[in-house]
Amino acid sequence: MSWRCLSRQGRGASAAAALVLVLAMCLVHVAGAAEPSSGGPSYEAPSAEAVRAEVQSIFDSPRFAPQITFWQWLGQKLSGLDMPDWPGAPIISNILLWVLLAWCVLTLLAIVGHTVWSLRLFMPARGQRTPVPRYERLSVLTYEELRARMEALADEGDFRSAVRAMMAALVRWLDEAGIVRCHPSKTNGDYVREYPPERPAREMFRQFALTFDALIYGGTRCGSVDYRQMRDVLDRIRENVAGA
């Protein structure tokens, strides 16, 4: 083989070796770019302004807002008041604070008590018996007992109650005389309609019942004069019925 041929083959091997070296360097560079560097993160760090904005949004969120009780809120409001700059000011401030708190508690208790009382009025307990009115309770007594009750109330100056007892006494006496039948469910109008027209003193009894309704249920003032007039009518009714 000639020298020229050997020289040409050597140059071809050198070129091939150089090409292989260049390809190897390219592969190493690509692999290094693909793998993250071990010295730090592969992402870009946020700016300081972005961090502060994110923290402020967290503080402004209602989920992270501080929760305080009513009494803490009230104490903060009262502590912000300007008090006179003298030695007794803190003591006066504490006294006023406790007075205000006591007033609030008492007001709350009063509201709750009034609400419960109102509910009890509109929602009576089951099985509770309705109290018998005073007029019906008086009607179970005898005429003599009712007459004594009537006079005792008049001596005490309670003429309205005395007139109530007087009506019960008259109805009881008419029941004993066989003219009407006394019953707690009946009204004065029932007794007037039940009174036989042919029996004496029926008109006087009707006027007596009308006057009684006006004094007791009509809101008219009932005094000693009214009591004496009603008592005189009662006595005249008894005299007319007994003399018939």
The pLDDT tens digits for 57-81 are: 776 766 666 667 766 776 666 666 5
**Does residue 54 carry a pLDDT above 60?**
yes
Q: ∠ CA 206-212-214 to the nearest 5 degrees?
A: 105
Residue of 105, 62, 99, 109 lying closest to 78 (CA atoms): 99
CB 143 within 8 A of CB 175: no
Report the pLDDT averaged over residues 128-147: 63
**Does residue 125 carry a pLDDT above 50?**
no
The pLDDT score that the predictor gives to residue 12 is 54
72-81, 113-122, 231-240, range with the lowest pLDDT:
72-81
Residue with tokens 């003032």: 221
**Does residue 13 carry a pLDDT above 90?**
no
The domain locations on the chain are 134-243
